[in-house]
């Protein structure tokens, strides 16, 4: 079950965290994985890890917010059966104190970046059919303090997912999204260090306990759900958003 043999997977932001976990698991299941990322060091490490385990992978340096760069990257691949739109950034701020530059940066990467990948990959994927997975967030479903621009972007991700699933169903393309709660990644550690200097341990515990299950998610747990949704075993599933949140949305009373 869950074999991805003879399939080519394109994963954005595969150089670290959730993207790395997805890339390595997909390769383990037989996919040829190509990582689009600006983090050359991290992406190269992911590729080397995959190859050391006997898998097939490659790295293409690409800024997903640049449509021409995405177009050039996609042109290097003869076929694409799986697209995972994972690249994204976060921001702390509300509608009053979020600067227009930060709002625009979040939009360019988290929203336009996914649009660019969809725009360029779908024409290729229409030749064979395939699966698209977008990375959303629980911030698209619930109000989270000081996440105005980030919540905007992830709400857009869910909307793009539904639209894409509807528009390209007849072409044999499925599209779903995952909405994680907090997942422990190097990104989270950096986020805490930047925004809460001197209070790292305190904030880590606070953020962990904000989820009813009492901890942050693990990247491998997110990757496992991604694998299922991109596999042939999920061929009856499209146009859905899947929270993976330790009970945050429904049980956080």
The CATH number that applies at residue 86 is: 3.40.50.720
What is the count of structural domains for the chain? 2
**Given this model, what pLDDT does residue 187 score?**
79
- For residue 135, being part of any structural domain is answered with yes
Closest CA to 226 of 45, 51, 18: 18
Q: Which residue range forms the structural domain that includes residue 194?
A: 184-216
Q: Where are the beta strands (DSSP E) in 38-106?
A: 56-61, 82-85
- For residue 84, being part of any structural domain is answered with yes
pLDDT digits (tens), the chain, 253 positions = 999 999 999 999 999 999 999 999 999 999 999 999 999 999 999 999 999 999 999 999 999 999 999 999 999 999 999 999 999 998 989 999 999 999 999 999 999 999 999 999 999 999 999 999 999 999 999 999 999 999 999 999 999 999 999 999 999 999 999 999 999 988 788 888 988 999 999 999 998 998 999 999 999 999 999 999 999 999 999 999 999 999 999 997 6
Same-domain pairing of 147 and 235? yes
**Given this model, what pLDDT does residue 186 score?**
83
Same-domain pairing of 147 and 197? no
- For residue 251, being part of any structural domain is answered with no
Q: Is 108 helix (H, G, I), strand (E, B) or coil?
A: helix
Within 10 A of 129 (CB to CB), how many other CB atoms are there?
A: 13
Tokens standing for 81?
A: 């059966």
Same-domain pairing of 60 and 124? yes
Active-site residue list? 150
């Amino acid at each position: 079950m869950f074999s991805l043999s003879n399939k080519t997977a394109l994963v954005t932001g595969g150089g670290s965290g959730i993207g790395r976990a997805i890339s390595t698991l997909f390769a383990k299941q037989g996919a040829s994985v190509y990582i689009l990322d600006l983090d050359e060091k991290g992406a190269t490490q992911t590729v080397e890890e995959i190859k050391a385990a006997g898998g097939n992978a490659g790295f293409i340096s690409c800024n997903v917010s640049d449509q021409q760069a995405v177009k050039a990257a996609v042109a290097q691949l003869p076929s694409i059966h799986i697209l995972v739109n994972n690249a994204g950034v976060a921001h702390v701020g509300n509608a009053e104190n979020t600067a227009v530059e930060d709002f625009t940066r979040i939009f360019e990467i988290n929203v336009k970046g996914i649009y660019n990948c969809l725009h360029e990959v779908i024409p290729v994927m229409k030749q064979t059919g395939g699966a698209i997975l977008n990375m959303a967030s629980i911030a698209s479903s619930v109000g989270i303090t000081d996440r105005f621009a980030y919540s905007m972007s992830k709400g857009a991700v869910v909307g793009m997912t539904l639209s894409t699933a509807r528009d390209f169903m007849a072409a044999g393309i499925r599209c779903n999204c995952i909405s994680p709660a907090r997942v422990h990644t190097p990104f989270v550690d950096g986020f805490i260090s930047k925004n809460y200097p001197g209070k790292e341990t305190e904030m880590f515990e606070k953020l962990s306990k904000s989820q009813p299950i009492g901890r942050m998610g693990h990247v491998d747990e997110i990757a496992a759900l991604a694998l299922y949704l991109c596999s042939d075993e999920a061929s009856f599933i499209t146009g859905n958003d899947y929270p993976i949140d330790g009970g945050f949305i429904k049980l956080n009373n």
